[in-house]
Structure 1
Amino acid sequence: MTIDWHPLESELDRWRTQNLALPLWWRDDDAVSVTPQLETLAGLSQTLDLPVHLAIIPRNADRQLVDYVARHRTLIPVVHGWAHQNHAPEGEKKSEFRLHRPIPDITADAQAGLDRLRKLLGDRLCPMFVPPWNRIAPEVVEYLPELGFRIISAATPRKARWPVPGLEQINTHLDPIDWRGTRGLTATDKLIGQTVKLLRDRREGRTDNAEPFGVLTHHLVHDQDIWTFTEGLLRRLLDGPGRIWVAPSENKPRET
């Protein structure tokens, strides 16, 4: 696979020339157990010295995963819904936390997810809520702070830093997988073009550069091309204006 990185490298040069910094973070979804793909993810995170926020499905998380996370400090566990179960009717986009059930049932699942991972992971857990499929109703978001969450993470540039008091929005912005097509790597020229546009919008003030720029991966479905692109992208961002952002765990104070 040949990748033309020149458009991205040119944009990163502009950031350097203007002495700009890019807050950068990494999220990976759908962890439930230790697999060869998870070991590849952890290895890449260690090689890059870039922590990866591992979105764990609470209902299905096993003891092996908990022990593995405990041994790998670059894996930052966060809460990925409850069961990654679709409750939307046929014909609607999949979701677990939109208003297809009574609010008490929805919030009970969010609470159950946080409680189970707190019990398994203790202070290692970051109180970040990642709704499956990056979809959640605003009415549900309002309840998250009182449940114990401090961060909500979905996708696309955020519209507000604090969607509700006590809850910070830290989204992801680039996913290399072609979910609607091959389910492999999206065409690299398209991915690089998307990245350049996202960075240019930040550099020129159209979107919020205070929000960490999020790269989203899904280790369980990666082929070698996806791993290769992801590593190349992260290396270039880190070598350029990227400054690593890591969400605070339960036992660390939050910045305000």
Structure 2
Amino acid sequence: MTWDWTPLAEELRAWGQAGQTLPLWWRDDDAVAATPQLERLSDLSRRLGLPVHLAVIPQAARPDLAALVAQTPELIPVVHGWAHHNHAPAGEKKAEFRLHRPLEAIKDDARRGLAQLCDQFQDRLRPMFVPPWNRIAPEVAATLPELGYRFLSTATPRAQRLAAPGLEQVNTHLDPIDWRGIRGLADPDALIGQTVALLRDRRLGRADPQEPFGVLTHHLVHDQQIWDFTEALLMQLLQGPVRIWTVPVH
């Protein structure tokens, strides 16, 4: 399937003409095991030359996932909450790390998540916290640096560089899945238009141009259309004036 990438190509050309460079990163959520879908993800990452940050659910992570990551340098594990369990009451948006339970219990889950994945992935793990459903209370975020985290990742353009002292916010901005509708590929023209609008805001100073632009995927639920669009989108972005960003080790 082909899509019209002309608007994105033109926006990236404008970046080049302005002498601007787009920092680019990739995050994929909900990893728990070595699966055929994950192997497909790592193959795509390898072919593109773009590492993918794998948000791993600590409580559910299996040993075969750590074994695969150990031999797959393009997969960068980060911490995806604790159990991906919703603690919000009925009628509220799902969340694991908002204040629906005592702060100390929430902190303990964030602490356990980092400790468990450090044990599994050793020095391959990067100090980034990804709250399930991209939702976290500011009071919880403020405690993450004391637990050992240095980065927080949710969604939409960040309002400021630091989510808390010692905690840099690096979000994702484009998710190709229509979660509220068909749960397949969202309208491709709308996705391309959304990408162009986000990049234009950065280029014109309406959004932080220093924040890495994040593409968010979920390898376990991709159908063929989502795989195809994701690959095409990332290829188009990589043809522009981009700098690949990854979470620093420390």
Q: Name the TM tier (shorter chain).
A: over 0.9
**Letter paired with 1:91:** G
**Letter paired with 1:236:** Q
2:69 is the counterpart of 1:69: yes
State the partner residue of 2:125: 125
Equivalences for residues 1-256 of structure 1 within 5 A: 1-250=1-250
Q: For each residue in 1:147-167, what CA deviation from the matched residue of structure 2 results, as whole angstroms up to 9, or x when unmatched?
A: 110000000000111121111
**Letter paired with 1:171:** N
**Letter paired with 2:71:** R
Q: For each residue in 1:68-125, what CA deviation from the matched residue of structure 2 results, as whole angstroms up to 9, or x when unmatched?
A: 0000000000000000000000111100000100001111000010000011111110
Q: Secondary structure at the match of 2:163?
A: coil
Greater CA drift, 45-54 or 156-165: 156-165
Q: Distance in 2 between matches of 1:191 and 1:45?
A: 21
Q: Distance in 2 between matches of 1:195 and 1:242?
A: 14
Q: Distance in 2 between matches of 1:42 and 1:249?
A: 20
**Letter paired with 1:168:** E
Once the 2 structures are TM-superposed, how far is the Cα of residue 17 of structure 1 from its aligned partner?
1.5
Once the 2 structures are TM-superposed, how far is the Cα of residue 249 of structure 1 from its aligned partner?
2.1
Once the 2 structures are TM-superposed, how far is the Cα of residue 12 of structure 1 from its aligned partner?
1.1
Percent sequence identity over matched residues?
66
**Letter paired with 1:180:** R
Q: Distance in 2 between matches of 1:112 and 1:32?
A: 16
State the partner residue of 1:254: none
Q: Secondary structure at the match of 2:78?
A: strand
Once the 2 structures are TM-superposed, how far is the Cα of residue 241 of structure 1 from its aligned partner?
1.5
Once the 2 structures are TM-superposed, how far is the Cα of residue 236 of structure 1 from its aligned partner?
1.0
Q: Distance in 1 between matches of 2:66 and 2:214?
A: 24
**Letter paired with 2:215:** V
Q: Distance in 2 between matches of 1:83 and 1:150?
A: 21
Q: Secondary structure at the match of 1:126?
A: coil
Once the 2 structures are TM-superposed, how far is the Cα of residue 242 of structure 1 from its aligned partner?
1.5
Once the 2 structures are TM-superposed, how far is the Cα of residue 4 of structure 1 from its aligned partner?
1.2
Q: Distance in 2 between matches of 1:213 and 1:127?
A: 19
Q: Distance in 2 between matches of 1:64 and 1:130?
A: 21
**Letter paired with 2:90:** E
Q: Distance in 1 between matches of 2:18 and 2:236?
A: 17
- Structure 1 residue runs of 4+, over 3 Å off? none
Q: For each residue in 1:198-219, what CA deviation from the matched residue of structure 2 results, as whole angstroms up to 9, or x when unmatched?
A: 0000000000010000000000
Once the 2 structures are TM-superposed, how far is the Cα of residue 31 of structure 1 from its aligned partner?
0.1
Q: Distance in 2 between matches of 1:124 and 1:188?
A: 34
Structure 1 portions without partners, runs of 5+: 251-256
Q: Tell me the number of residue pairs that the alignment of Structure 1 and Structure 2 aligns.
A: 250
**Letter paired with 1:223:** D
RMSD of aligned residue pairs (Cα, Å) = 0.7
Q: Secondary structure at the match of 2:243?
A: strand
Q: Distance in 2 between matches of 1:220 and 1:228?
A: 15
Once the 2 structures are TM-superposed, how far is the Cα of residue 2 of structure 1 from its aligned partner?
3.2
Q: Distance in 2 between matches of 1:114 and 1:243?
A: 28
